[in-house]
Structure 1
Amino acid sequence: MATIEECRSALDRLSDNLQHSDGEVRSAAALDRSLSCHITDLDITFTGRLTGGRIKVRDRVDGPPPEKAEIRLAMTGDDLVAMVDGELNFAKAWASGRVRLEAGFRDLLRLRSLL
């Protein structure tokens, strides 16, 4: 099972990947939205913003997200680490229910290029 530190590191690596992307991925990452990532097996949530092409984690709280972010992710820590390491395809994990992504319709349309 991935640790809290491994999950935080994976979010930082994901942020770096987004910042160095180009084309449609860069455009989708350029949103300015509140973000939460609930790590279900550890029952913790990282909260922050997707802004300027980066994920800026501001806080870590116990349990589910305390407030409804504009973009909400939920998955196990192992799945987060595997996705960032390229071992798990996000689209397949989302389609199978291993990863939950919730956002407004327009944001989902823009975020689809990240899949």
Structure 2
Amino acid sequence: MATIEECRAALEKFSQSMGRAEGDARAAAALDRSVSCWITDLDVTFVGRMADGRIVVRDTVQGPPPERAGIRLRMAGDDLVALVDGELNFAKAWGSGRVRLEAGFRDLLRLRKLL
């Protein structure tokens, strides 16, 4: 099972890759939205903001997200690490329910270019 530190490092790695995105992916990364990532097996939520092509984690809270963020992720810690490392296909994980992504319809359309 992934640790909180490994999950935080995976989010930082994803943020760095967003910063290097080009074309349509760069436009998707340019969204300015609140973000929450609930790691279900650790019962911890990373809360932050997606802006300027990066995700900045501002806080880590126990339990599910305290507020509804503009972009909401929910998954196990091992799945987060595997997604970021390219070992887990996002579309398959989302389709099977291993990963949940919730956002407004337009944001979902833009975010699919990142994933």
TM-score (norm 1): 0.98
> Could you tell me how far 1:109 is from its partner in structure 2?
1.1
Query: Which residue does the alignment assign to 2:49?
Result: 49
Pairing of 1:25-36 with structure 2 (within 5 A): 25-36=25-36
How far apart in 1 are the matches of 2:108 and 2:83?
19
> Could you tell me how far 1:61 is from its partner in structure 2?
0.0
The answer to whether 1:13 aligns with 2:13 is: yes
- Report the aligned-residue RMSD: 0.6
Query: Which residue does the alignment assign to 2:69?
Result: 69
How far apart in 2 are the matches of 1:96 and 1:17?
25
Q: Which moved more, 1:20-29 or 1:68-77?
A: 20-29
Query: Which residue does the alignment assign to 1:78?
Result: 78
The residue type paired with residue 80 of structure 2 is L
> Could you tell me how far 1:93 is from its partner in structure 2?
0.6
How far apart in 2 are the matches of 1:9 and 1:55?
12
Q: Which runs of 5+ in 1 are unaligned?
A: none
Q: Deviations over 1:44-95 (max 9, x none)?
A: 0000001000000000000000000000000000000000011001111111
> Could you tell me how far 1:5 is from its partner in structure 2?
0.2
| Superposition misfits of 4+ residues, deviation over 4 angstroms | none
Helix, strand or coil for the counterpart of 2:37? Answer: strand
Query: Which residue does the alignment assign to 1:97?
Result: 97
How far apart in 1 are the matches of 2:17 and 2:89?
15
